[in-house]
Amino acid sequence: MEETVKRFKKRLEELRVYDHAMGVLYYDMETVMPKGAIALAGDTLGALSKTSYQLQIDKAFVADIQAILAHPDAVDPITLCEAKRMNEARERIACIPIDEYVACQIESTAAFAAWQKAKAQNDSSLFLPHLEKLIDFKRRFALYYRPDAPAYDTMLGQYEKGLSTETLDAFFRDVQSALVPLIDRIQKNGYQPDTSFLEQSYPIWKQRELTKYLMQVMCMDPEHSACGEVEHPFTTNFSKADVRITTHYYENAVQSSMYSVIHEAGHATYELNIGDDIARSPLGTGVSMGVHESQSRFFENYIGRSEPFIEAIFPKMQELFPEQLAGVSAHAFYLAVNKAEPSLIRTEADELTYSLHIMVRYELEKQLIAGTLKVADLPEAWNEKYREYLGVDVPSDAMGFLQDMHWSDGSFGYFPSYAIGSAYGAQLLNRMERDLDVWTLAGEGNLQPIIDWLKERIYQYGCRLDPKELMEQAFEAPFDPKYYTEYLTKKFTALYRL
């Protein structure tokens, strides 16, 4: 068994090398690579991915995994858990013929480039044929893996193990019935806070200073983290030693990058606080997208959009933007960044209407994968749903179904994790308030005790526990979406004096 474990660990290290190289190539592609190199980068990523795939399905490696799984008592718990996770990952990809797997990687890169162009030129015809191919690939892959399950449910499970359309249908019904009347009341009420000061010119080089400050407030160790600039912000990590967030600066919307940075810093905080015992292990990363989004949205919304936290960081903002924020109080800023109004763009949406944006995407991708919605009909279907749920007219595909990058690389089933994550976050906050004086800490800009609490209950485990097990352990209760709807109802009732 000793030799088996040694070989197994050696292969894990080889796989880490390929993951690291591919991760850096991808990060580079998004942040600094000149656009004309996309074909080159696509070929390189395709080739590395092929080698990594072969290493993962290699018979000798599979035999080692199975030997470990057959003798769970003969190895330490981390090795056993690694073998389980590798086996799960292998089962998901081993069923895919290698040529199709590689073709899909290459198509993903091409589709991503086409999406960028389509969005920039507001020309959906450049992207739709790629989207069709990606859907075909991903549907087929899901059915290879679980021939008897609906393909979309299988995709959901890739981002959040155990999540199903049944759960989500119920979840979105609850959300819709709690929030739509509240949104209506706000609309009818007529009052909206002044947001004109947010739309002034905030020089980008000064916004970069704000990013540095916010990363510091979020306790991100500069020895192990950095921030890049991209079209659509994301976070990536190459072990807890190297965690990268990204942002996009808009000169006339300082709150955009500001909250994007806090959101991504939430993801980064999770990765930076993985247990040292699994730092270089495949277990050493966040367990699921839902749990990840629970952290990003916890810091973005529950902390970042709270009045005490805004009071804590506002002096620094006034120092950076004395002219733009002249005569503006922390309270006025708090009101402005919490303005709730149905709108077009998900990433700019307020906390209250956000889940409706997700609901649109959830319903559409469910139909696309089931084949009940044709790709050619997607743009119009998108626009209809926005009219129905949010009451807004979509003026262009660039501001419509082309706005998000997720479908451009085939991440179907990802969106719901944003909504589930928000709901996890609200329940976590409720539990945390029993142990910590959260709002005093937020008011001091002292987030370390909050991060320590989350590390203790969530971060340190990496992928050692399944999402459900992990969250129930953290909640000390089953998951319940009521904390989410209650939180939103309370906050926005007060904000809008309803």
Dist. CA 34–CA 43, nearest whole Å: 15
Longest CA pairwise span in the chain (Å): 71
Residues 181-210, one symbol each (x = binds a copy of itself by CB under 8 A, - = not), give ----------------------xxx-----
Q: Which of 43, 184, 251, 456 binds a copy of itself (CB under 8 A)?
A: 43
Tokens of 354: 């956000």
Catalytic, out of 107, 264, 271, 300: 264
Q: Is 99 in the site for a copy of itself (CB under 8 A)?
A: no
167 belongs to the binding site for a copy of itself (CB under 8 A): no
In angstroms, rounded to a whole number, what is the distance separating the alpha carbons of residues 8 and 302?
42
CB nearer a copy of itself, residue 280 or residue 468? 280
Residue 238 near a copy of itself by CB under 8 A: yes
Among positions 263-322, residues that touch a copy of itself (CB under 8 A) are 280
- Residue 102 within binding range of a copy of itself, rule CB under 8 A: no
Q: Please provide residue 223's backbone torsions phi and psi, each rounded to the nearest 5 degrees.
A: -70, -20
Among positions 73, 77, 166, 222, the unique one binding a copy of itself when judged by CB under 8 A: 222
Q: Which residues, other chains included, contact 365 with Cβ-Cβ below 8 Å and sequence gap of 6+? A: 152, 407, 412, 413, 415
Contact call for residue 103 and a copy of itself (CB under 8 A): no
Nearer to a copy of itself, 15 or 402 (CB): 15
Q: Which stretch binds a copy of itself (CB under 8 A): 39-47, 121-129, 153-161, 302-310?
A: 39-47
Active site residue 363: no
Q: Does 14 bind a copy of itself (CB under 8 A)?
A: yes
Both tokens of residue 438? 């959260």
Q: Does position 9 bind a copy of itself by CB under 8 A?
A: no
Q: Which is nearer to a copy of itself, 1 or 37 (CB)?
A: 37
Closer residue to a copy of itself (CB): 115 or 314: 115
Q: What track of x and - describes contact with a copy of itself for positions 47 through 76 (by CB under 8 A)?
A: xx----------------------------
CA angle, residues 368, 135, 418, in degrees to nearest 5 = 70
Element (H, E) at 48: helix 38-57
Beta-bridge mates of residue 243? 225, 237
Other beta carbons within 10 angstroms of residue 63's beta carbon come to 12
Q: State in angstroms the smallest separation of the CB of 30 from a copy of itself.
A: 12
DSSP 395-461: --GGGTTTS-SGGGGT-TT-THHHHHHHHHHHHHHHHHTTTS-HHHHHHTT--HHHHHHHHHHTGGG
Tell me if 249 sits within 8 A of 348, measured CB to CB: no
Tell me the C-alpha distance between 388 and 75, whole Å: 55
- Active-site residues, by number, are 264
Interacting residue ranges for a copy of itself, rule: CB under 8 A? 13-14, 16-17, 20-21, 24-25, 27-28, 31-37, 39-41, 43-44, 47-48, 203-205, 221-226, 228, 238-239, 241-242, 244, 280
